[in-house]
């Protein structure tokens, strides 16, 4: 049990953290921008499934307790926060790009296209974009790229949560559609369990043909488990 003083201290720390997380948005609001969209993606590293991008525009008064980089949150906490973000946001959108189209245009272009599509879904349209790590050169909206933006901007953090929840749900669906690969567990990342299933069953239609070892297996080549770095995937 927590005493009232301990609870008050915890609340104060969270309020301070949220104020710091809104610094980029606050500065842009002061400059006169009204609809600031945070953008983030999930799923650039897996060897199966979509890359998913989300865009979120928050009102100035938004203060969603617990919002943070999605990788720092449990799956259940992300789901709870996703519902609150959707209820609080002025507008939000989530878009996924799946194989084989993802492979046709490459993962970077697929990520940018998903972000473009998410921005176009927003209403009212944003007048500034805060983007995690990337730039969108073919969109006529002022923007700023932030490295590790999901830890620096509340809008990007909210987008990271929506993208992660949506992608996880899609991989759970694909687990039912293509049983035996373990998609619900590893979400398409190159875990040892996934690679073993891939070797036993062969690739399915949501495996990325431009990613190794899927590319090698599809062309009839030999795969060796000693391939360096394969299991060092970051669940981002």
DSSP symbols for the chain: ---HHHHHHHHHHHHHHHHHHTHHHHHHHHTT---EEEEEEE-SS-SBS-EEEEEEE--TT---TT---GGGS-HHHHHHHHHHHHHH-SEEEEEEE-TTHHHHH-HHHHHHHHHHHHHHH-SSPPSEEEEES---TTS-S-EEEETTGGGT-HHHHHHHHHHHHHHHHHHHHHHHHSTTS-HHHHTT---HHHHHHHHHH---TTB-TTSTTHHHHHTT----TT-TTTT-----
Q: How far apart are CA 30 and CA 26, in angstroms?
A: 6
- 185-211 tens-digit pLDDT: 999 999 999 999 999 999 999 999 999
Assigned CATH for 4-174: 3.30.420.10
pLDDT band at residue 155, thresholds of 50, 70 and 90? very high
pLDDT value at residue 114: 98
User: Residue 132, Cα to own-chain centre: how many angstroms?
Assistant: 10
**94 neighbors 162 (Cβ within 8 angstroms):** yes
**174 neighbors 49 (Cβ within 8 angstroms):** yes
Cβ-in-10-Å burial (0-12, 13-18, 19+) of 99 comes to: buried
- 69-118 tens-digit pLDDT: 898 999 999 999 999 999 999 999 999 999 999 999 999 999 999 999 99
pLDDT at 11 over 50: yes
Q: C-alpha angle with apex 189: 184 to 190, nearest 5 degrees?
A: 125
- 16-61 tens-digit pLDDT: 999 999 999 999 999 999 999 999 999 999 999 999 999 999 999 9
Among the ranges given (71-80, 152-161, 174-183, 220-229), the one the predictor scored with the smallest mean pLDDT: 220-229
Nearest C-alpha neighbor of 40 from the set 186, 151, 138: 151
Nearest C-alpha neighbor of 98 from the set 219, 204, 22, 233: 204
pLDDT value at residue 41: 97
């Amino acid at each position: 049990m927590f005493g009232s003083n301990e609870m008050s201290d915890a609340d104060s720390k969270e309020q301070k953290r949220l104020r710091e997380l809104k610094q980029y948005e606050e500065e842009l609001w002061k400059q006169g921008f009204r609809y600031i969209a945070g953008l983030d993606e999930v799923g650039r590293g897996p060897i199966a499934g979509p890359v998913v991008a989300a865009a979120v525009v928050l009102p100035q008064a938004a203060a969603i307790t617990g919002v943070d980089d999605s990788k720092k949150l449990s799956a259940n906490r992300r789901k709870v926060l996703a519902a609150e973000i959707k209820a609080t946001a002025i507008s939000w959108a989530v878009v996924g790009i799946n194989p084989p189209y993802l492979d046709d245009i490459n993962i970077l272009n697929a990520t940018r296209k998903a972000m473009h599509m998410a921005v176009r879904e927003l209403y009212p349209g944003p007048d500034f974009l805060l983007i995690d790590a990337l730039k969108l050169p073919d969109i006529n909206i002022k923007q700023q790229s932030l490295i590790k933006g999901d830890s620096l901007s509340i809008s990007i953090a909210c987008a990271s949560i929506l993208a992660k929840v949506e992608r996880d749900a899609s991989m759970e669906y694909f687990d039912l559609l293509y049983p035996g690969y373990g998609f619900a567990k590893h979400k398409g990342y190159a875990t040892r369990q996934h690679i073993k299933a891939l070797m036993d069953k062969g690739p399915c239609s949501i495996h990325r043909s431009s990613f190794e070892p899927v590319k090698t297996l599809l062309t009839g080549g030999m795969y060796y488990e000693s391939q360096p770095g394969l299991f060092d995937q970051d669940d981002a």
